[in-house]
């Protein structure tokens, strides 16, 4: 029970609450911490049968106010049921912008662990980007953009009139973030999951650029069906290095960053790029331990039990003196934090198992399925962020 945690978002509309909630939730689940977002807007749309215009959010309209509070309470009660059963971190994605609401939530959640996460934004560029995300969110996606903007501005005005930032006198644990990375204030927050959450939030920025993932070009070991090692590319692989360079430099118009592992085959694949390159061991291929530089056939012959055990549980199975997929998730936790902190397009040239684990993060694929994802050689995977997740396209070169 101690590890369980409720995070209550606080902030005006279009401050990035849903963006932060959804991204944090994706990261925690991938790190193995069972997390779920409860969005009161989703409950409102479900209970009220669709969209409500700005007048619904007029705090001076008593009957609307009561309905709105009632819906939030229903949503929060569902959250409590979930966290008491099998949840570990539950995020309440709602404005929770006045003291009265926060007192209710604090009392209702006792004796559970609750932290308020307030997003404060006065940077016009960030507000504009959040607004763009708002206009493609469920309330406005099917509306005329001019109407959507006017309606949203009215809604925003109603919330602004009664918004109160969290004060120490409220006697709650809180994290306040100003303009994403400008200022971070933490009060009475500590613990293992809390540290993970704070590290993620410290690095989270609004990035609407795509991320490109690719395995290295075909290597000599790929041709010989040998796993691991540190060999060079085959002729096919060298051709792919030309193709990926041409494709990416035509595709990305602005400055971008390239990540490779420290192994020759990824560095060779990215060799033609003149953009900034970062080599990191975090992206090295899964270590096959005593099976490195062997074919699967040789492993089967020499260590049949390794093949059997790995097949039985590919996620957890650790090669003797090597790694498992769970080890890779652990290793890539810090890489993903690093990725979050860039505001540029990114190309990652890595390896089979590494790309599977990264796809697991971006596509919210359950752990058990990650080792079984198919990632082909000579394909670029383009991941474009939208308001909630990443759109995946695969380009064969």
- Contacts to ligand F6P by CB under 6 A: 227-228, 285-286, 288, 351-353, 371
Please state, as a whole number, how many other Cβ atoms lie within 10 Å of the Cβ of residue 166: 22
**Cβ proximity to ligand F6P, 345 vs 371, nearer residue:** 371
Q: Is 93 a catalytic residue?
A: yes
User: What span, in angstroms and rounded, lies between the C-alpha atoms of 115 and 272?
Assistant: 48
Cβ pair 372, 312 in contact under 8 A: no
Shortest separation between residue 256's beta carbon and ligand F6P, angstroms: 25
Sign of CA dihedral 185, 190, 194, 195: positive
Shortest separation between residue 86's beta carbon and ligand F6P, angstroms: 29
Tell me which of 151, 156, 194, 216 is the catalytic residue.
Answer: 216
Which residue in this structure is represented by tokens 């619904």? 56
Nearest to 211 by CA among 334, 124, 339: 339
**Cβ proximity to ligand F6P, 5 vs 358, nearer residue:** 358
Phi, psi (deg, nearest 5) at residue 384: -110, 125
Cβ pair 269, 244 in contact under 8 A: yes
Helical segments of 2-123, H only? 17-30, 40-48, 62-85, 99-109
**Cβ proximity to ligand F6P, 101 vs 310, nearer residue:** 310
Tell me which of 118, 194, 218, 285 is the catalytic residue.
Answer: 285
Q: Is 216 a catalytic residue?
A: yes
Q: Report CA 133 to chain centroid distance, whole Å.
A: 16
Shortest separation between residue 316's beta carbon and ligand F6P, angstroms: 13
Shortest separation between residue 336's beta carbon and ligand F6P, angstroms: 19
Cβ pair 91, 37 in contact under 8 A: yes
Cβ pair 145, 41 in contact under 8 A: no
**Cβ proximity to ligand F6P, 153 vs 224, nearer residue:** 224
First-last CA distance in the chain: 50
**Cβ proximity to ligand F6P, 244 vs 283, nearer residue:** 283
Q: What is the dihedral of CA 333, 334, 340, 343, to 10 degrees?
A: -150
Q: Is 62 a catalytic residue?
A: no
**Cβ proximity to ligand F6P, 9 vs 350, nearer residue:** 350
Shortest separation between residue 352's beta carbon and ligand F6P, angstroms: 4
Give how far Cα 70 sits from Cα of 40, 44, 81, 85, Å.
10, 10, 17, 23
Element (H, E) at 203: helix 192-203
Residues annotated as catalytic (active site), given as ranges: 93, 216, 285
């Amino acid at each position: 029970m101690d590890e369980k945690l409720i995070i209550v978002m606080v902030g005006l509309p279009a401050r990035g609450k849903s963006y932060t909630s959804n991204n944090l939730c994706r990261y925690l689940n991938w790190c193995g911490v069972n997390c779920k977002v409860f969005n009161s807007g989703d409950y409102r749309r479900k209970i009220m049968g669709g969209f409500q215009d700005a007048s619904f959010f007029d705090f001076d309209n008593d009957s609307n106010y009561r309905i709105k509070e009632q819906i939030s309470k229903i949503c929060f009660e569902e959250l409590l049921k979930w966290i008491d059963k099998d949840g570990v971190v539950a995020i309440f994605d709602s404005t929770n912008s006045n003291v009265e609401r926060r007192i209710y939530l604090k009392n209702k959640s006792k004796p559970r662990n609750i932290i308020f996460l307030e997003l404060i934004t006065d940077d016009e560029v960030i507000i504009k980007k959040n607004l763009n995300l708002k206009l493609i969110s469920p309330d406005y996606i099917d509306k005329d953009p001019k109407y959507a903007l006017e309606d949203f501005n009215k809604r925003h005005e109603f919330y602004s009139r009664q918004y109160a930032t969290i004060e120490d006198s409220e006697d709650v644990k809180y994290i306040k973030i100003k303009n994403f990375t400008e200022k971070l204030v933490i009060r009475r927050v500590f613990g293992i999951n809390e540290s993970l959450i704070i590290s993620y939030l410290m690095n989270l920025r609004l990035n609407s650029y795509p991320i490109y993932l690719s395995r290295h070009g075909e290597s000599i070991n790929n041709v010989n069906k040998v796993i691991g090692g540190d060999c060079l590319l085959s002729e096919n692989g060298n051709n792919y290095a030309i193709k990926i360079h041409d494709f990416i430099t035509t595709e990305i118009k602005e400055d971008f960053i390239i990540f490779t592992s420290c192994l020759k085959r990824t560095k060779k694949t990215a060799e033609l790029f003149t953009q900034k390159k970062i080599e990191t061991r975090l992206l090295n291929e899964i270590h096959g331990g005593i099976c490195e530089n062997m074919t699967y056939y040789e492993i089967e012959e020499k260590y049949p039990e390794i093949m059997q055990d790995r097949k039985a549980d590919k996620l957890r199975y650790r090669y003797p003196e090597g790694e498992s997929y769970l080890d890779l998730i652990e290793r890539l936790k810090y890489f993903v934090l690093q990725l979050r902190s860039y505001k540029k397009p990114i190309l990652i040239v890595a390896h089979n198992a590494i790309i599977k684990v990264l796809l697991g993060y971006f596509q919210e694929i359950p752990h058990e399925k990650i080792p079984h994802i198919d990632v082909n050689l000579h394909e670029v995977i383009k991941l474009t962020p939208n308001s909630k997740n990443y759109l995946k396209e695969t380009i064969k070169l």
